[in-house]
Amino acid sequence: MAIHWSEAKDQLRQLAAHPQFGLFSDLDGTLAALAPTAEQVRLSPRVLQLLTGLRDELPVVALISGRRVAALHDKVRIPGLVYVGNHGLETLSEDGAAEANPAAAPYRPALDAARKALQAVEGGGAHTEDKGLTLTLHYRQVADPEDFNRRHGDTVRAIAAEQGLEFFTGKMVYELRPPVQMHKGVALRELAGRYGIQAALFLGDDVTDIDGLRAVREMRAAGECDAWGVAVQSPDAPEGLEETADWLASGVADVEDLLAWLLAARRASST
């Protein structure tokens, strides 16, 4: 059973002091509170300041999000962070351009066909966001999201299957993605390898973050990295999230406290 992070300060202090410590985090619902629309999500000045401070101290601070990488960067705009979008299918290159995983490109016609088919369930607050390499159907704004899910979940799943796309659920979203072996766990492992990370912390709050939480456990078990995972609790947290995490944070404000504590511990270790 995962414990609150404040009960694991000895281990967190060791992580923070490791020269090759990397921080990997989701954005929405983890570093910023969810809002009715993705556009309305804002990072607090404090979290921006903490991410900047951690960037200056650590070999890598990476944001791994389901957003398009350009939209992810737009929300944060801190130079020197690593930005990974579309659950790992897209990264931001040094010159600020989006780089797509080439394996995903052939699925654009399938996404177009699925997008058209999804019109059948849109309306009343439900809309499809085209993220270029994936589609997200948002239903947070419909009058009765649970009823929407009961009535349309299987339809959307079938549309994905018809087009050879994979179907995922999240917090009041459905996602349709190319069947490319890529998720937050794969992205995390790749980044850890690329930056020579030997100690790591991953934070997330939703279904797709479970892959990241699983990856840190596997990396730790394999002895390749002293990696740990934090689940951010929320009323609509998905099944399996807390069970897969090592530690818990009670919400976005608590994540800020954790980042502040990590930054202080890092600075204390280097003096």
The binding site for Mg ion (CB under 5 A) comprises 26, 28-29, 205-206
- 26 in catalytic set: yes
* Annotated catalytic residue, options 26, 28, 211, 226: 26
Residues 92/73, Cβ–Cβ less than 8 Å? yes
Between 26 and 226, CB nearer to Mg ion: 26
Question: DSSP class of residue 142?
Answer: S
Between 91 and 208, CB nearer to Mg ion: 208
The nearest distance, CB 30 to Mg ion, in angstroms, is 5
Between 34 and 110, CB nearer to Mg ion: 34
- Please give the Cα distance from 77 to 48 (Å, whole number): 9
The nearest distance, CB 243 to Mg ion, in angstroms, is 17
Q: What angle do CA 213, 158, 178 make, to 5 degrees?
A: 50
Between 31 and 159, CB nearer to Mg ion: 31
Residues 187/84, Cβ–Cβ less than 8 Å? yes
Residues 164/110, Cβ–Cβ less than 8 Å? yes
The nearest distance, CB 41 to Mg ion, in angstroms, is 10
Q: Residue 204 forms beta bridges with which residues?
A: 231
The nearest distance, CB 205 to Mg ion, in angstroms, is 5
- Please give the Cα distance from 142 to 147 (Å, whole number): 9
In this chain, which residue has its C-beta nearest to Mg ion? 29
The structure tokens listed for 263 are: 């930054």
- Please give the Cα distance from 26 to 114 (Å, whole number): 27
- List residues with catalytic annotation: 26
